[in-house]
Structure 1
């Protein structure tokens, strides 16, 4: 199918009619503006979208897991039907290659189907039953049953660096819809066309599966005009966000200052420290340098799990550094997602390069074209690293800082780091066992600890944790990837003394859904 772009918001089952321009997509490589002009949702349309979601919530949250699963699978199928359109428009708006865009499309549809399987089976609601004991002494025990229930309408903000997997129908939306929460999505200005194509796909899926109007809306417009009002609307009960720390903090403030504060699940910044132990270098320094370089420059470094900080013990790693210098010197600049990201990257790299005590390991020698940025790696001592806050900040792009020191100094530095999405150790099995305190220190700072690999691959599965202590995320108890992310949009509700017929099927004595439950303290089906 060939998608037609209108430049307007999706308000339930209708299209927006605002006439105030919200911006225009820009060709990532050339800077040329792309049609159409996108129009901002009006104040009335923002309210209408949220109110439709609030109206849809009772009906949508009450339908069975199988029905919601059918909706999620329909979304996946509709997205696959416009995969060519997404690859074509995505390449223009983001500069991402065809393979990356198609791979991200597959990840998006795969996670929708993963959630569909989860809620179709049904045990995720964590049903717990404590049967009454009327003869218990000295007091009778009442019948008490609990399960997870959806919160209500959720606001989802699209990410700039993942136009599909963390955007309109990405992980936040999939988790919220799976839980039973309608979603109001706020499009990102950098890839509005991709957002509209996916939004149309979700709309078709909602209609074909007879979902209540308001289960999904897609709004265009700036943060102050659209995003903040959505978060502040009393019907919104949670927020999903992937982006800058400044943007995440603004949403957290808006949510906290409501008469009824709500949770904001914001993924914000991470430098993803890598610790290289001597045994890893002994296995092959050049190969390790090549693997690190490939991870650093993947997608022009525009991944939240980019390895931006490397701890290298003193007295070793000479071949590693020489090979890394060679790779950097011959590397080619890459087109970044948009000018804002590129300018911030260039400013950060230049600031680090000018910092006292910082040495340049290597930088690309090739001249970059408009919209492009080149890889860079720097080196600094542990002491200077700890003294200079700038060196601990995230550089969003293909740049890293190598910190040199003794193993004792490295281990002592880990607790001084901010919270991270990932932390990595390279070494031998024996070194891993011998450095348990180092492993524990890294685990205290990160949501995912990796051994002998690099963090840029994030598997979408039941056990994945893509989150970590603040400021990598606003709530280190949560994840934005994998099926555990559904837990962000639910709360536990307890029913005491209810007649069996008035309980949800998940809590009824006969267990008509055949799910796993805890009954009187024992797990079973």
Structure 2
């Protein structure tokens, strides 16, 4: 039975988060303390394994990623780089035709954030995962609507952090809606299905005061194999494709769902010869949805290349796919791969142009010659474009971008992984002609924070240790 937090408790959690916004807190200290507490609690993996059926080794790695992510954000915030400080001193001779006033621009926290975690990553996208970490880095307290797939882990994490006052955990759909529509909440973040994410996005947009909603929804993550690669290393491509689309039982948002290969190559035969590993799915509901999605794939001109029960690889040709594009080019969450053979390179670009927004798009090739047009199309369609690497596995780093045009996300200019994710929960404020005593510390001339001063990077500013 799904738990429901009383609405009075939801409202109290949001109001407490708002009070903390006014009082302020030290994001660097909080992020490091959260990471230390997660590292020091030995039973988290055991609880997560029991609730999600994910293997302990996978969960331990995910927990390590989560605490690393918290500390990486702390290092960023310590430099002030996330604040985007710009200082323009007064200039009576400013050549626009009028004097320039003293202007100082900085990013400041939006306010309380509601986070809807993912079911497939109970740590990395859970109560203390990337959305929470990036909101805390921005200086925003968080109300987490716990995922029903791991309620005990969510409560355990919430209790572990309760005395810090920066994270509150609530349960149930009604609680999630109440938190997202509360007038004191200033942003929402979500990782999950297109249907669920779109419903919450619409709810956030329909508020009397619409708020930004950062949803990471669905993606097919197509892989384009060129002729040279398909004929030079078919066995390797097949083995890597299987390792990628079956990783975690295919329950990754970056799982490759479509593999395009040239006609006449032996990649399909190599795929048919590879053993498909099996693993339990997160829940009976997700497994049922997966089977329904596989059954919905058109069958005319389509053959089963491998599997069929559990992991499944289907084979068809690009002509059929282009004739019924929407039925073929849609996400199937789970260990499913559609192999599509093509005869004409122009048809491959046509396929790419017709794609919806994607989290990733991958090119497997030996040589870059002649691929400029395809890569340009993919860069317009996807948030991350890969060359000879597979999309599963999203490195937490400064240059990472985990996003893309709709329906990959609801906010095309944002990322939910990497240190740039903090930008989602900040907004700019410019101070004009203010005395130093009333300026935020980051905007004062004697502050060593990273800044652009009169259009030039400030010398001697703090740098990141990582």
TM > 0.5 fold call:
yes
SS of 2:247's equivalent?
helix
- Structure-2 residue corresponding to 1:163: 122
Task: Verify: 1:518 aligned to 2:452, yes or no.
Answer: yes
After superposition, residues 78-89 of structure 1 pair within 5 angstroms as 78-82=37-41, 84-89=42-47
Q: Deviations over 1:91-150 (max 9, x none)?
A: 111111010000010011010000000001112211111111246685332111101111
1:442: which partner in 2? 378
Which runs of structure 2 are paired with 1:182-201 in the superposition (5 Å)? 182-201=141-160
Instruction: Give 3-state SS (helix, strand or coil) of 1:335's partner.
Output: coil
CA contact (8 A) 2:261 2:339 kept: yes
Per the TM alignment, residue 449 of structure 1 is displaced from its structure 2 partner at its CA by: 0.6
In the alignment, does 2:295 pair up with 1:359?
no
Name the structure 2 match of 1:249: 198
Residue of structure 1 equivalent to 2:30: 71
Question: Does structure 1 conserve the Cα–Cα contact (< 8 Å) formed by 2:230 and 2:262?
Answer: no
In the TM superposition, residue 457 of structure 1 has moved relative to its aligned partner by 1.2
Give the equivalent residue in structure 2 for 1:220.
171
Distance 1:398 1:168 in 2: 26
Q: CA deviation at 1:248?
A: 0.5
Instruction: Verify the 8 A CA contact 1:169 1:202 in the aligned structure 2.
Output: no
- In structure 2, C-alpha distance between the alignment counterparts of 1:197 and 1:107, rounded to whole Å: 19
Assess if the C-alpha contact under 8 Å between 1:234 and 1:260 holds in 2: yes
What SS class does the counterpart of residue 390 from structure 2 fall into?
coil
Q: How does 1:30-49 map to 2 (within 5 A)?
A: 39-49=3-13
Asked if structure 2 preserves the Cα contact closer than 8 Å seen for 1:86 and 1:101, the reply is: no
Matches of 1:139 and 1:275, distance apart in 2: 54
Match of 1:403 in 2: 340
State the secondary structure of the residue aligned to 1:184. Answer: strand
**Distance in structure 2 (CA, Å) of the matches to 1:326 and 1:448:** 30
Q: Does 1:236 align with 2:185?
A: yes
Q: Give 1:104-503 correspondences, 5 Å limit.
A: 104-134=62-92, 139-204=98-163, 206=164, 213=165, 215-221=166-172, 223=173, 225-316=174-265, 318=266, 320-327=267-274, 330-352=275-297, 355-363=299-307, 374-388=310-324, 389-405=326-342, 406-428=344-366, 430=367, 432-503=368-439
Please identify, of 84-93 and 293-302, the stretch whose mean Cα deviation from structure 2 is larger: 84-93
1:2-23 CA-to-partner distances (Å, cap 9, x unmatched) read xxxxxxxxxxxxxxxxxxxx52
TM-score by length of 1: 0.85
After superposition, the Cα gap between the structure-2 partners of 1:283 and 1:149, relative to the gap in structure 1 and judged at 3 Å, is same
* SS in structure 2 of the partner of residue 149 of structure 1: strand
Give 1:332 deviation, angstroms. 4.5
Aligned length: 456
3-state DSSP of counterpart to 2:246: helix
Following superposition, the deviation at residue 181 of structure 1 comes to 0.5
Gaps of 5+ in 2: 460-466
Alpha-carbon distance, 1:175 to partner: 0.3
- Name stretches of at least 5 consecutive residues in structure 1 with no aligned partner: 1-21, 24-38, 207-212, 365-372
Q: Distance in 2 between matches of 1:127 and 1:253?
A: 33
* TM-score, with structure 2 as normaliser: 0.95
**Could you list the per-position Cα deviations for residues 72-105 of structure 1 after superposition, in whole angstroms to 9, with x for gaps in the alignment?**
11111111112x3122111111111010000010
CA deviation profile, 1:361-385 (whole Å, cap 9, x unmatched): 1115xxxxxxxx6110112222221
Asked whether 1:55 is paired with 2:4, we answer: no
Residue 286 of structure 1 aligns to a residue whose secondary structure is helix
SS of the residue corresponding to residue 334 of structure 1 reads: coil
Note the alpha carbon deviations across 1:312-356, whole angstroms, 9 max, x for none.
12222x2x21221122xx43532000111100001111222x532
Residue 441 of structure 1: how far off its partner (Å): 0.7
| Alpha-carbon distance between aligned partners in 2 of 1:378 and 1:282, rounded to the nearest angstrom | 20
Partner Cα separation in structure 2 for residue 281 and residue 257 of structure 1: 49
| Secondary structure of residue in 2 paired with 1:466 | coil
Distance 1:381 1:133, change over 3 A: same
- Partner of 1:434, secondary structure, is coil
**Aligned pair 1:99/2:63, yes or no?**
no
2:125 and 2:205 map into 1 onto residues whose CA distance is: 24
TM-fit CA distance, 1:484 = 0.3
